[in-house]
């Protein structure tokens, strides 16, 4: 067939395919334009999942009359002028394709007013590339964009849309992502006349916490750990959920780079690695995180919908995110309750009566005994009489009372009752000690009686040769025998029974792809986790109060002690308020 130029309308519809996939795509593009225009309030109205109508109104700077026609022209934008601007994109949109693409597959109306005009101006498109001349129209400062009958002129595209509820769910996801991206912006949304979102601007930390709770649910915030960390021009802030709030799907993962929503494999991998030691297999973490860095260090032009980005120094960013989140998770240990929550653990006076058959007096004396033993920790004189008369600063997990069926430890804490799964807790303690011992020096290697020959690519052989010293530090002694041949002479002693050639190939593949690898580290930790599980306290083993308290104190000092190596919680607390509710006290 002869080569020919495509008609302008067909060019626009092809371009629209990159930008407009469904109503949610329209919402995203319009909202990002509004935010780039400096909007502080967004009003969104949607009908039939956005297929029949999508209307976005903002209070941004508006579009002058003489620029309205340019706004619907392809590759026309106010956001980049030079190549330098393109290399340092700081706006959400910049290609100048959103409005013309939408206008190619729907009936588009734009009404806008700038602060210098006494009234607004409106243009209307017929979905076939024709637009009216700007006409006067009443409108406050800002812009309203209406998109009606999406894909009315492209039936093949429209038939691929899902049912209304499905399309609405996608719209809802986009709205919530944008609401999390810009908590400082007021947002209201309606679907088929029903209120969907009514969010006030959130500029203070407590307000931002409340917005996250409104959008993701209070349970997320109940389990959330706040992050704020800065190093080498990189800033990471936001919230990560404790491992006990893990999800069956990656449906509560929100990551923003310089305010832009991204779904980036590099960042996802870094977070997965940070959580790998504390989650059940197949579970997914929940988080809302914001990464800020110099726009020149990230390329946002790597994907038509701008969901993926490319970092100039991907390894640095990956390690920064991984290490920052891992450090926060490492500190998930039992926390001391605040002063307002502290209550006294008191004992009965020596001559106080007790009910016949009651063990209350005995229980009180046992608590006093433990408090005396831990007097220095509790910061009170080591006498039962003093403990009886003054409030005590109790350790986070309190003092052991008893063992339940040889499985759980019951402890009296400052704010109620603590229950500890002794096997899960001891497993984490043992595992962390093994890891610390492993990381304290060079890993032991085991010489092979018969060296193994491994065939690899030339690139991998070059990498193995240049990384020989680094490989030796993790127990691999590897030599090059030919252009595509390696010889393994020593392997990590802990992994001697593994498929060594395959592990080396995987290591080299990681180094080629990411510039580094945690594969060995993860494999070693898996071996240690298994050993920790097998050597930890078994169920139904009787412990003395002294042993129980020793375990509680070890938990308070151990990283990641809130969950075992498999992601199960190691302890829980029933507060006095919760206990009172159980027994209907105060009613």
Each residue's pLDDT tens digit, 454-498:
998 888 888 888 888 877 877 788 999 999 999 999 987 777 777
Residue 367 confidence (pLDDT): 44
Q: Answer whether residue 502 shows pLDDT above 60.
A: yes
Residue 390 confidence (pLDDT): 52
- CB 234 within 8 Å of CB 267: no
Confidence band, pLDDT 50/70/90 cuts, at residue 224: very high
Residue 288 confidence (pLDDT): 97
User: What's the mean pLDDT in 92-96?
Assistant: 52
User: What's the mean pLDDT in 96-120?
Assistant: 89
**136-150, 164-178, 466-480: least confidently modelled range:** 466-480
Cα 366 to Cα 167, 389, 411: the distances in Å are 62, 16, 11
User: What's the mean pLDDT in 140-168?
Assistant: 92
Residue 519 confidence (pLDDT): 59
Residue 104 confidence (pLDDT): 87
Over 501-566, what HEC string results?
HHHHHHHHHHHHHHCCCCHHHHHHHHHHHHHHHHHCCCCCCCCCHHHHHHHHHHHHHCCCCCECCC
Q: Answer whether residue 361 shows pLDDT above 70.
A: no
Q: Answer whether residue 257 shows pLDDT above 50.
A: yes
The dihedrals phi and psi of 509, each to the nearest 5 degrees, come to -65, -40
Counting residues of the chain whose pLDDT is more than 90, the rounded percentage is 44
Confidence band, pLDDT 50/70/90 cuts, at residue 76: low
pTM, full prediction = 0.72
Reported as a single tens digit per residue, the pLDDT across 513-570 is: 656 556 556 666 666 666 667 667 776 788 899 999 999 999 999 998 998 877 788 9
**Which helix (H) or strand (E) segment is 155 a member of?**
helix 155-158
Reported as a single tens digit per residue, the pLDDT across 382-410 is: 333 333 445 457 899 999 999 998 899 99
Residue 348 confidence (pLDDT): 32
Confidence band, pLDDT 50/70/90 cuts, at residue 301: low
**Mean pLDDT value across the chain:** 81
Q: Answer whether residue 369 shows pLDDT above 70.
A: no
Cα 68 from Cα 124, distance rounded (Å): 10
Confidence band, pLDDT 50/70/90 cuts, at residue 411: very high
Q: What is the DSSP string of 43-83?
A: EEEEEGGGTSEEEEEE-S----GGGHHHHTSTT--SS--SH
Q: Which residue has the higher pLDDT, 332 or 322?
A: 322
Residue 93 confidence (pLDDT): 52
Q: Which residue has the higher pLDDT, 538 or 583?
A: 583
Cα 289 from Cα 253, distance rounded (Å): 8
Confidence band, pLDDT 50/70/90 cuts, at residue 574: very high
Reported as a single tens digit per residue, the pLDDT across 304-329 is: 555 677 888 888 999 999 999 999 99
Residue 434 confidence (pLDDT): 76
Residue 52 confidence (pLDDT): 95
User: What's the mean pLDDT in 168-173?
Assistant: 95
Cα 53 from Cα 479, distance rounded (Å): 66
**127-136, 270-279, 387-396, 575-584: least confidently modelled range:** 387-396
Q: Which residue has the higher pLDDT, 245 or 513?
A: 245
User: What's the mean pLDDT in 186-202?
Assistant: 95
Q: Answer whether residue 91 shows pLDDT above 60.
A: no
Cα 204 from Cα 206, distance rounded (Å): 6
Residue 16 confidence (pLDDT): 64
- CB 42 within 8 Å of CB 58: yes
Q: Which residue has the higher pLDDT, 309 or 155?
A: 155
User: What's the mean pLDDT in 265-274?
Assistant: 90
Residue 314 confidence (pLDDT): 86
Report the greatest alpha carbon distance in the chain: 108
Cα 283 from Cα 271, distance rounded (Å): 13
Q: Which residue has the higher pLDDT, 259 or 56?
A: 56
Cα 490 from Cα 41, distance rounded (Å): 64
Reported as a single tens digit per residue, the pLDDT across 4-61 is: 777 776 776 666 666 788 999 999 989 988 998 899 999 999 999 999 999 999 999 9
Cα 286 from Cα 224, distance rounded (Å): 9
Cα 158 from Cα 151, distance rounded (Å): 5
């Amino acid at each position: 067939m002869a080569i020919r130029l495509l008609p302008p309308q067909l060019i626009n519809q092809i371009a629209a395919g990159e930008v407009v996939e469904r109503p949610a795509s329209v919402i995203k593009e319009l909202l990002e334009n509004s935010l780039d225009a400096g909007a502080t309030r967004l009003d969104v109205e949607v009908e039939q999942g956005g297929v029949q109508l999508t209307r976005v109104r903002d209070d941004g700077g508006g579009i002058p009359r003489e620029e309205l026609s340019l706004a619907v022209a392809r590759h026309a934008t106010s956001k980049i002028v030079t190549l330098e601007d393109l290399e340092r994109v700081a706006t959400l949109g910049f290609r100048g394709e959103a409005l013309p693409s939408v206008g190619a597959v729907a009936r588009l109306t734009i009404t806008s007013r700038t602060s210098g005009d006494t009234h607004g101006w409106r243009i209307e498109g017929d979905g076939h590339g024709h637009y009216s001349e700007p006409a006067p129209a009443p409108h406050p400062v800002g812009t309203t964009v209406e998109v009606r009958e999406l894909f009315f002129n492209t039936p093949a595209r429209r038939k691929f849309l899902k049912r209304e509820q499905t399309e609405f769910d996608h719209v809802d996801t986009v709205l919530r992502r944008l609401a999390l991206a810009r908590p400082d912006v007021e947002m209201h949304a309606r679907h088929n006349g029903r209120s969907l979102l009514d969010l006030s601007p959130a500029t203070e930390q407590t307000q931002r916490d409340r917005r996250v709770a409104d959008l993701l649910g209070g349970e997320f915030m109940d389990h959330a750990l706040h992050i704020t960390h800065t190093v080498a021009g990189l800033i990471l802030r936001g919230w990560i959920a404790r491992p006990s709030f893990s999800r069956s799907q990656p449906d509560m993962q929100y990551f923003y780079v310089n305010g832009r929503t991204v779904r980036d494999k590099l960042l996802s991998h870094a977070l997965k690695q940070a959580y790998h030691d504390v989650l059940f297999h197949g579970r997914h973490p929940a988080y809302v995180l914001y990464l800020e860095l110099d726009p020149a260090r990230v390329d946002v032009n790597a994907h038509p919908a701008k969901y993926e980005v490319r970092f100039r120094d991907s390894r640095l960013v990956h390690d920064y995110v991984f290490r920052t989140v891992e450090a926060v998770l490492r500190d998930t240990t039992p926390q001391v309750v605040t002063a307002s929550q502290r209550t006294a653990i008191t004992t009965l006076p020596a001559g106080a009566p007790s009910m016949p058959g009651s063990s209350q007096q005995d229980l009180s004396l046992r608590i006093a005994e433990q408090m005396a033993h831990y007097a220095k920790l509790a910061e009170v004189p080591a006498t039962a009489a003093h403990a009886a008369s003054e409030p005590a600063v109790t350790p986070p997990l309190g003092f052991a009372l008893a063992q339940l069926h040889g499985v759980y430890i019951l402890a009296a804490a400052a704010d109620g009752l603590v229950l500890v799964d002794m096997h899960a807790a001891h497993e984490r303690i043992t595992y962390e000690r093994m890891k610390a011992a492993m990381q304290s020096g060079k890993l032991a290697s085991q010489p092979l009686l018969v060296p193994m020959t491994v065939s690899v690519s030339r690139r991998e052989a070059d990498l193995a040769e240049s990384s020989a010293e680094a490989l030796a530090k993790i127990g691999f002694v590897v030599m090059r025998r030919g252009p595509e041949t390696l010889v393994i002479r020593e392997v990590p002693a802990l992994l001697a029974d593994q498929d060594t050639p395959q592990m080396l190939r995987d290591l080299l593949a990681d180094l080629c792809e990411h510039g580094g690898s945690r594969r060995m580290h993860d494999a070693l930790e898996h071996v240690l986790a298994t050993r920790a599980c097998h050597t930890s306290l078994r169920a139904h083993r009787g412990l003395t109060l002294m042993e129980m308290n020793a375990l509680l104190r070890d938990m308070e000092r151990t990283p990641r002690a809130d969950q075992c190596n498999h992601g199960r919680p190691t302890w829980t607390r029933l507060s006095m308020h919760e206990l009172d509710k159980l027994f209907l006290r105060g009613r």
